[in-house]
């Protein structure tokens, strides 16, 4: 018997209520998703990995959107956009088993079309989840499930998965390349005979070693494309170092996958594939050479494949934009796919405060409270939400935040009046899309590629809520 979950709202009922409404007519706060930006970011990522000849594994935790196909034009659900329609391999990462369950219809569809489906559970395998993971894996079939491992005690759950599912799980050994969230250092992968035990399980048919996995978010503190590209190169090098240090524990001649990423550094590969990159900018030389070391050489004598993984690149947010990993991107309104529509409830422009401020009816429970290394605010108000005075280049930001409301002010502590009115609807672009999205049960979809749908709801996408 499956564990009870939060009830999922009826999508058709939601559509009847929301579709056709203008953003200014919505009950607020509301999470709005621009499908035009989402499509563009997913396409440029898939084009870039194809151009470089590397694999890609899409993380779906950012949007957690149901991947079922709908007949209502013109939208397509987010997970489908991330994996594309043409690649033979369909590889995704999930952070929760509910995400896995939510995307099952799409995965079954891909399997039925002859595509190779593999779902990686994105944390070191919790023993309590082995049975549920096995049940989900059985829906797709052998080869469909991978897990990450960084402790020998986790392997008992891998054996249990095999016994329940009737096939082995793929294993990525988690490498800590400097972020220190999970994983083992490159020189210490065989802690407590971890690699030797995996080799024994593989010989018994109870597991299948895929390769090494690192997730390093050091690039979130970057501010140039070169920094992001160098961070990705360093992460790849860390996994190559792990392979070299532990070569004696891997079966000779085995093909191993090196999977690395986090959205800023993975998105930075687009700098290598743009037309301007043909001139051979030296900023990308380190990354180009490092990628070739894995894709064209045999590190430590092993045949290796490179796989990149990322998720929030598809929506973007203020954290992502601040890294400048893709310095060629446009304005926030044009690039960040997710925004929160909120109502202004008071304005203080007449000396009530040290600087002019405004009060809006959304707070931590509607925006999150995620910091951004590039500035001290909790969100940025879209420039299209207000008319700034000529020459005023400072941003209007969420300066302070409480549970259900926030204070807006100029980022530079300007004395210029806040150009907002009580009752006005504004769009706030969050620091961290993954956390903000989790505050809502569904996204209200607009399509900025068409004037008539740029501010009008065209669809509703229900998202996963819970674990």
Strand partners, 34: 446
Q: Are residues 243 and 361 in the same domain?
A: no
- What tokens appear for 362 in the block? 């959304």
Please state the rounded mean pLDDT for residues 163-170. 98
**Mean pLDDT over each residue of the chain, to the nearest integer:** 92
**DSSP, res 125:** -
Instruction: Provide the residue range defining the domain that includes 397.
Output: 332-462
User: Are residues 78 and 460 in contact, defined by beta-carbon separation less than 8 angstroms?
Assistant: no
Reported as a pLDDT band with limits 50, 70 and 90, residue 100 is very high
What's the pLDDT score for residue 4? 75
Domain membership flag for residue 20: no
Reported as a pLDDT band with limits 50, 70 and 90, residue 280 is low
- Asked if residue 74 has a cis previous peptide bond (ω within 30° of 0), the answer is yes
Calpha distance 11→77 (Å, rounded): 13
What's the pLDDT score for residue 72? 29
Q: Are residues 417 and 311 in the same domain?
A: no
Q: Are residues 219 and 194 in the same domain?
A: yes
Q: Where are the alpha helices (DSSP H) in 305-417?
A: 318-323, 332-335, 364-367
Question: In total, how many domains does the chain have?
Answer: 2
**DSSP, res 372:** B
Domain membership flag for residue 392: yes
Q: Are residues 245 and 152 in the same domain?
A: yes
22-39 per-residue burial string, b: 16 or more CB within 10 A, e: under 16: ebeebebbbbbbbbbbbb
Q: What is the pLDDT of residues 295-329, one digit of tens each?
A: 999 998 999 999 999 999 999 999 999 999 998 99
Q: Are residues 299 and 415 in the same domain?
A: no
Q: Where are the alpha helices (DSSP H) in 342-445?
A: 364-367, 433-437
Percent of the chain having pLDDT more than 70? 94
Q: Which of 165, 177, 348 is nearest to 262 (CA)?
A: 177
CATH number at residue 97: 3.20.20.10
Grouping H, G, I as helix, E, B as strand and the rest as coil, residue 11 is helix
Q: Are residues 311 and 431 in the same domain?
A: no
Domain membership flag for residue 159: yes
What's the pLDDT score for residue 413? 84
Domain membership flag for residue 449: yes
Calpha distance 65→68 (Å, rounded): 9
Write down the pTM of the prediction.
Answer: 0.93
Q: Which of 336, 244, 245, 304 is nearest to 40 (CA)?
A: 336
Domain end among 268, 285, 315: 315
What angle (nearest 5°) sits at the alpha carbon of residue 353, between those of residues 351 and 355? 85
Domain membership flag for residue 369: yes
CATH number at residue 444: 2.40.37.20
Please state the rounded mean pLDDT for residues 382-388. 90
**Greater model confidence, 281 or 256:** 256
Q: Which of 180, 188, 118 is nearest to 152 (CA)?
A: 188
Q: What is the pLDDT of residues 57-82, one digit of tens each?
A: 999 865 555 544 333 222 347 899 99
Q: Are residues 110 and 249 in the same domain?
A: yes
User: By CB neighbour count within 10 A (0-12 exposed, 13-18 middle, 19+ buried), where does 369 fall?
Assistant: middle
Greatest alpha-carbon span in the chain:
76
- What tokens appear for 40 in the block? 């563009």
Calpha distance 221→371 (Å, rounded): 11
Q: What is the pLDDT of residues 102-157, one digit of tens each?
A: 899 999 999 999 999 999 999 999 999 999 999 999 999 999 999 999 999 999 99
Q: Which of 148, 49, 43 is nearest to 89 (CA)?
A: 49
Give the helix, strand, coil percentages of the chain, each rounded to 5. Answer: 40, 25, 40
Domain membership flag for residue 289: yes
**DSSP, res 433:** H
Neighbouring C-beta atoms of residue 4, cutoff 10 Å: 7
């Amino acid at each position: 018997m499956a564990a009870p979950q939060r009830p999922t709202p009826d999508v058709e009922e939601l559509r009847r209520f929301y579709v056709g409404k203008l953003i200014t007519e919505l009950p607020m706060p509301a999470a709005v998703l621009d499908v035009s930006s989402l499509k563009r970011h997913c396409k440029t990522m898939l084009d870039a990995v194809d151009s470089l000849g590397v694999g890609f594994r899409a993380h779906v935790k950012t949007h957690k959107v149901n991947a079922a196909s709908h007949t209502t034009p013109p939208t397509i659900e987010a997970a489908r956009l991330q994996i594309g329609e043409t690649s033979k391999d369909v590889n995704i990462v999930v952070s929760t088993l509910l995400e896995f369950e939510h995307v099952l219809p799409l995965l079954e569809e891909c399997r039925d079309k002859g595509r190779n489906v593999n779902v990686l559970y994105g944390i070191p395998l919790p023993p309590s989840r082995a049975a549920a993971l096995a049940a989900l894996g059985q829906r797709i079939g052998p080869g469909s499930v991978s897990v990450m491992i960084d402790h020998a005690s986790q392997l008992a759950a891998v054996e249990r998965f095999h016994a329940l599912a009737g096939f082995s799980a793929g294993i990525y050994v988690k490498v800590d390349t400097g972020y220190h969230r999970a994983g083992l250092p490159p020189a210490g992968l065989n802690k407590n005979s971890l690699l030797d035990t995996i080799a024994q399980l593989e010989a018994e048919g109870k597991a299948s070693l895929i390769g090494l996995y690192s997730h390093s978010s050091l690039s979130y503190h970057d501010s140039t494309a070169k920094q992001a590209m160098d961070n990705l190169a360093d992460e790849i090098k860390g996994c190559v170092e792990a392979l070299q240090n532990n070569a004696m524990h891997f079966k000779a001649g085995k093909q191993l996958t090196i999977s690395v990423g986090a959205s800023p550094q993975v998105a930075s590969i687009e700098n290598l594939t743009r037309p301007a990159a043909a001139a051979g900018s030296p900023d990308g030389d380190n990354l180009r050479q490092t990628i070739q070391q894995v894709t064209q050489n045999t590190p430590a004598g092993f045949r290796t494949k490179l796989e990149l993984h990322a998720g929030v690149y598809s929506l973007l947010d203020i954290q992502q934009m601040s890294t400048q990993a893709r310095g060629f991107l446009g304005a926030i309104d044009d690039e960040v796919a997710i925004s929160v529509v909120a109502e202004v409830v008071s304005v203080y422009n007449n000396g009530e405060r040290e600087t002019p401020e405004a009060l809006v009816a959304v707070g931590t429970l509607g925006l999150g409270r995620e910091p951004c290394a590039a500035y001290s605010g909790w969100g940025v108000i879209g420039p299209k939400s207000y008319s700034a005075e000529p020459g005023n280049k400072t941003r209007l930001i969420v300066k302070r935040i409480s549970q259900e409301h926030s204070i807006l002010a100029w980022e530079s502590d300007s004395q210029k009046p806040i150009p907002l009115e009580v009752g006005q609807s504004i769009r706030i672009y969050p620091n961290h899309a993954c956390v903000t999205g989790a505050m809502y049960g569904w996204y209200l979809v607009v399509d900025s590629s068409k004037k008539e749908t740029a501010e009008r709801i065209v669809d509703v996408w229900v998202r996963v809520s819970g674990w």
